């Protein structure tokens, strides 16, 4: 029995799903990430876990080396407003559900933990919308997808590139009835840090959180707000100190170790489709639909014939405009470059349980405005020229 090195482990849970002996369980590390732990008494040394590990055995998939690139937005303005970008995921999921299929994606549970869940009806899709900015727990989702495919159903699975690769490695083959979507991933923050943040916000607000939206578009897609919804119908727009989890995410302070040398970004992609915000659209290539940017524009990369077929089925609910791949590469650094590992990361996790939370905020999660501008510009444009810094200034004021 062989598991990959801990520093390379993505926490995708393919190994646990593959173990029929129940010899693997996921335990939370001191940093708040889940990692596989072997029960030697149950392990039969069959090697199923190693075979299913996408780090040890990257699956061979038929993908386009140069994908088709589209700017997309949903025809229903309400769906767009409830989505992080242009609502492309909703259109894809609706097409699968309307044909009797199933959709798997990340959702908050009652305790504000993020887990992969199955949705069979349109009414459940809202749980899967919006960026969660934390690593989701896969649980038994890979086994559920496999069982659904065996019944002849069509499945749509949406996750981080490492999770999509993990699902394919677990299945051991590329099933024609499975469509996978990865997304442009900045890196996955610690669920343990998010849990601490939620407790801190609830204590400060005097009420339990019922929802947490890091990409509220009340001021437009290009200037999103972080909003906490509280029990009783109240909401709290989060600025400055109260938005320190998002600050830490942008600064890469508490990402999973494997994210800093991600083995699953770049081209070709792992999903049949790749989704994201279309940052940088219109900066260097004319975009005649600039008025649509206020409500959000989705980036969709078509990486396989199966992905193209599903996108084509969304023609009546999704506007799409073909764009140069160069525009995607220039405007979306997470497509091709892993997040930088900050010097403060080790010290942050050493202090995580050793100092009061407010001290943690002051030391690590309140970067100077100038640095926040540079981080924002680098992540969205791949550079930090003076012109970009000036244009970013208004976006980063908090």
**For residue 145, what pLDDT is reported?**
98
Other beta carbons less than 10 A from residue 192's beta carbon: 21
Q: How far, in Å, CA of 91 to CA of 348, rounded?
A: 40
Tell me if 137 sits within 8 A of 113, measured CB to CB.
Answer: yes
- Read off the pTM: 0.90
**For residue 131, what pLDDT is reported?**
85
Domain-embedded: residue 11: no
| One domain for residues 317 and 169 | yes
Is residue 153 exposed (0-12), middle (13-18) or buried (19+ Cβ within 10 Å)?
middle
Q: In DSSP terms, which residues pair with 277 in a beta bridge?
A: 298
**For residue 366, what pLDDT is reported?**
85
Domain-embedded: residue 117: yes
**For residue 186, what pLDDT is reported?**
93
List pLDDT tens digits, range 137-184: 999 999 999 999 999 999 999 999 999 999 999 999 889 999 999 999
Query: Longest Cα pair distance anywhere in the chain, in angstroms?
Result: 63
- Which residues 6+ apart lie within 8 Å of 359 measured at CB? 351
Lowest mean pLDDT of 107-121, 259-273, 321-335, name the range. Answer: 107-121
- Which residues 6+ apart lie within 8 Å of 47 measured at CB? 1, 2
Q: How confident is the model at residue 376 (pLDDT cuts 50, 70, 90)?
A: low
Q: How far, in Å, CA of 317 to CA of 233, rounded?
A: 31
List pLDDT tens digits, range 181-227: 999 999 999 999 999 999 999 999 999 999 899 888 888 888 888 99
Integer-rounded Cα radius of gyration of the chain: 20
**For residue 341, what pLDDT is reported?**
97
Domain-embedded: residue 36: no
Domain-embedded: residue 307: yes
Give the residue with greater pLDDT, 29 vs 398: 29
Domain that holds residue 92: 62-367
Please check the confidence at residue 383 and state whether its pLDDT lies above 80.
Answer: no
| One domain for residues 376 and 363 | no
| One domain for residues 257 and 380 | no
Q: How far, in Å, CA of 350 to CA of 358, rounded?
A: 15
| One domain for residues 377 and 348 | no
Domain-embedded: residue 279: yes
| One domain for residues 100 and 156 | yes
Q: In DSSP terms, which residues pair with 209 in a beta bridge?
A: 230
Q: How confident is the model at residue 304 (pLDDT cuts 50, 70, 90)?
A: very high
| One domain for residues 238 and 343 | yes
| One domain for residues 143 and 198 | yes
| One domain for residues 288 and 395 | no
Domain-embedded: residue 70: yes
State how many domains the chain has: 2
List pLDDT tens digits, range 221-253: 888 889 999 999 999 999 889 999 999 998 999
- Which residues 6+ apart lie within 8 Å of 87 measured at CB? 73, 74, 76, 79, 80, 296, 298, 318
| One domain for residues 349 and 395 | no
Tell me the percentage of the chain whose pLDDT exceeds 90. Answer: 78
| One domain for residues 341 and 377 | no
**For residue 373, what pLDDT is reported?**
63
List pLDDT tens digits, range 39-96: 999 999 999 999 999 999 999 898 988 999 999 999 999 999 899 999 999 999 999 9
**For residue 219, what pLDDT is reported?**
84
**For residue 162, what pLDDT is reported?**
97
| One domain for residues 277 and 138 | yes
Q: How far, in Å, CA of 383 to CA of 378, rounded?
A: 5
Is residue 357 exposed (0-12), middle (13-18) or buried (19+ Cβ within 10 Å)?
middle
Domain-embedded: residue 331: yes
Average pLDDT, the chain: 90
Domain-embedded: residue 44: no
Q: How far, in Å, CA of 26 to CA of 31, rounded?
A: 14
| One domain for residues 347 and 216 | yes
Please check the confidence at residue 381 and state whether its pLDDT lies above 90.
Answer: no
């Amino acid at each position: 029995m062989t598991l990959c090195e801990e520093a390379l482990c993505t926490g995708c849970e393919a190994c646990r799903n593959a173990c029929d002996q129940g010899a693997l369980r996921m335990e939370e590390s001191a940093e708040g990430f889940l990692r596989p732990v072997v029960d030697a008494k149950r392990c039969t040394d069959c090697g199923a876990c190693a075979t299913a590990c996408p780090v040890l055995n990257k699956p061979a998939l038929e993908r386009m080396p140069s994908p088709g690139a589209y700017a997309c937005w949903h025809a229903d303005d309400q769906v767009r407003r409830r989505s992080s970008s242009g609502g492309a995921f909703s259109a894809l999921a609706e097409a699968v559900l309307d044909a009797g299929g199933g959709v798997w994606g990340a959702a908050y549970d009652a305790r504000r933990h993020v887990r992969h869940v199955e949705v069979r009806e349109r009414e459940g899709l809202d749980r899967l919308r919006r960026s969660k900015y934390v690593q989701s727990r896969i649980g038994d989702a890979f086994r559920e997808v496999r069982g659904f495919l065996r019944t002849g159903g069509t499945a749509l699975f949406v996750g981080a590139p490492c999770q999509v690769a993990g699902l394919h490695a677990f299945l051991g083959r590329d099933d024609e009835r499975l469509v996978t979507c990865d997304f442009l991933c900045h890196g996955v923050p610690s669920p343990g840090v998010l849990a601490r943040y939620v407790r801190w916000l609830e204590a400060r607000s005097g009420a339990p959180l019922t929802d947490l939206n890091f990409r509220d578009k009340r001021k437009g897609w290009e200037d999103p707000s972080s909003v906490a919804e509280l029990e009783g119908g109240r909401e709290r727009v989060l600025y400055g100190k109260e938005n320190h989890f998002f600050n830490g995410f942008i600064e890469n302070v508490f990402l999973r170790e494997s994210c800093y040398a991600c083995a699953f970004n770049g081209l070709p992609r792992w999903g049949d489709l790749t989704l994201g915000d279309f940052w940088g659209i219109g900066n260097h290539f004319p975009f005649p639909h600039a008025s649509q940017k206020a409500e959000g524009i989705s980036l969709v990369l078509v990486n396989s014939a199966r992905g193209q077929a599903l996108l084509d089925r969304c023609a009546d609910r999704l506007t799409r405009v073909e764009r140069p791949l160069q525009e995607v590469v220039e405007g979306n650094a997470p497509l091709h470059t892993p997040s930088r590992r900050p010097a403060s990361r080790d010290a942050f996790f050493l202090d995580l349980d050793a100092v009061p939370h407010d001290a943690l905020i002051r030391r690590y999660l309140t970067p100077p405005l100038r640095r926040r501008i540079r981080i924002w510009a680098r992540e969205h444009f791949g550079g930090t020229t003076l012109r970009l810094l000036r244009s970013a200034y208004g976006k980063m004021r908090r």
